[in-house]
């Protein structure tokens, strides 16, 4: 019984590995994934820079006579309504995590669809690319809103 279970487990993993390696035989998938992973890594880097700069500013401002709340950070700004989301700086890491989650979900969908329909695979990879680009723009705007010099 245990030999049968281990055999099924081994064969299942071999089949999954074979499907994944077959998926990466296509050049366009490699190119898409390289670009998407670079953009997602950029998202994580900008989130880390924002977090470090905020902690550095909080360390400097603790010695000043400021009465403002030091833990708050602007997370969203709307042109019509102004600042409409304020929170802790750690919430900035939700954006790159969301981009990575969308990438993982779309990769699982890609494993199912890539042999039958190449258009759907392009659509899935392009959607992940666009999500990560928009998240990169959102993180850049959060950085500019919080750290631009006041003239």
Domain spans of the chain, in order of start: 26-147
pLDDT at position 10 is 72
Q: pTM of this prediction?
A: 0.79
| Helix, strand, coil fractions of the chain, as percent rounded to 5 | 75, 10, 20
**Are 128 and 106 within 8 A, CB to CB?**
yes
pLDDT at position 67 is 47
**Cα separations in angstroms, 107 against 11, 23, 34, 97, 104:** 21, 10, 13, 15, 5
**Are 74 and 142 within 8 A, CB to CB?**
yes
pLDDT at position 71 is 66
pLDDT at position 54 is 81
The residues, ordered by sequence, that sit 6+ positions from 99 with a Cβ below 8 Å of its Cβ are 39, 40, 43, 128, 131, 132, 135
Q: How many CB atoms lie within 10 A of CB 87?
A: 14
pLDDT at position 105 is 95
- Tell me the chain's radius of gyration from C-alpha atoms: 22
- Per-residue burial over 61-84, b if 16 or more Cβ lie within 10 Å, else e, is eeeeeeeeeeeebebeeeeeeeee
The residues, ordered by sequence, that sit 6+ positions from 132 with a Cβ below 8 Å of its Cβ are 36, 39, 40, 43, 99, 102, 103
Binned average pLDDT, 10 residues per bin, the chain of 151 residues: 71 78 84 96 95 70 52 80 84 94 93 83 95 95 82 63
pLDDT at position 37 is 96
């Amino acid at each position: 019984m245990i030999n049968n279970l281990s055999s099924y487990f081994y064969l299942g993993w071999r089949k999954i590995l074979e499907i994944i390696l077959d998926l990466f035989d296509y050049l366009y998938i490699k190119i898409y994934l390289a670009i998407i992973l670079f953009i997602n890594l950029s998202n994580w880097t900008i989130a880390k820079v924002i977090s470090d700069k905020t902690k550095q500013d909080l360390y400097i401002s603790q010695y000043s006579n400021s009465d403002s709340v030091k833990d708050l950070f602007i997370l969203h700004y709307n042109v019509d309504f102004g600042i409409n989301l304020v929170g802790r700086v750690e919430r900035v890491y939700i954006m790159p995590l969301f981009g990575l989650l969308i990438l993982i979900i779309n990769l699982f969908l890609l494993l199912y669809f890539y042999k039958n329909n190449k258009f759907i695979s392009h659509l899935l990879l392009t959607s992940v690319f666009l999500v990560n680009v928009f998240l990169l723009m959102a993180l850049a705007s959060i950085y500019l809103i919080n750290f631009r010099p006041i003239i």
